[in-house]
Amino acid sequence: MHKAVCPGSFDPVTNGHLDIVSRASKLYDEVTVAVMVNKSKKGLFTLEERMEMVRETTADYGNVVVESFHGLLVDFCRDRGIPVIVKGLRAVSDFDYELQMAQMNQGLAGVETLFLSTNPLYSFLSSSLVKEVATYGGDVSGLVPKTVLSRLTERLERDSQ
Ligand code: ADP
């Protein structure tokens, strides 16, 4: 069985993430979405909420499992026998860091990284931008799934009180 992992914070999951996960799910028999435990930065959503949103929005793909991870991604991969990391490359600005990480992961553990070119519709899209725009009342309905939009609106309303 050919397996791959899509890692990230998913705070919250966006249409850009889902584009990559859905394409990865067509290339591999099983795709694990590894949701990072954020130690340093405090997220808007808890780990459980982030995982739940990914589960809800990837359920239809049929071969996607959602797990949490902390520490080294290559250790996560080794423990589960996953040889490939799939990532989306949005722009040149992503490239330097992503290349370093890919080379490190290859060197450390022989884990390969497959880069998928981002759908141009989402090349500007990040979770932080979605949160920023939504905080100031901007319309992000085309950037995140419906279920994420309602959780986001609810959370921002709660936090502003
Ligand atoms: P963000 O970068 O949005 O804060 P993450 O750290 O959760 O979110 O992103 C994890 C990975 O998801 C990124 O390294 C990248 O591979 C992919 N990704 C994120 N946003 C997009 C996007 N708009 N298009 C394609 N891939 C994306």
CATH numbers and ranges of domains, the chain: 3-123 (3.40.50.620)
Clarify whether 26 is annotated catalytic: no
The whole-number pLDDT of residue 160 equals 82
The whole-number pLDDT of residue 37 equals 93
Q: Which of 11, 7, 5, 6 has the alpha carbon at shortest distance from 50?
A: 11
Clarify whether 131 is annotated catalytic: no
Quick: pLDDT tens for 38-48. 776 688 999 99
With the most atoms of ligand 1 within 8 angstroms of its CB, the residue from 20, 116, 140 to mutate is 20
Name which residue sits closest to atom 24 of ligand 1, judged by CA: 16
Ligand 1 lined by 113 (C-beta under 6 Å): no
Quick: pLDDT tens for 77-134. 999 999 999 999 998 888 999 999 999 999 999 999 999 999 999 999 999 999 999 9
Quick: pLDDT tens for 6-62. 999 999 999 999 999 999 999 999 999 999 997 766 889 999 999 999 999 999 999
Helix, coil or strand: residue 65: strand
Clarify whether 90 is annotated catalytic: yes
Ligand 1 lined by 145 (C-beta under 6 Å): no
d(CA 77, CA 79): 6
Prediction pTM value: 0.94
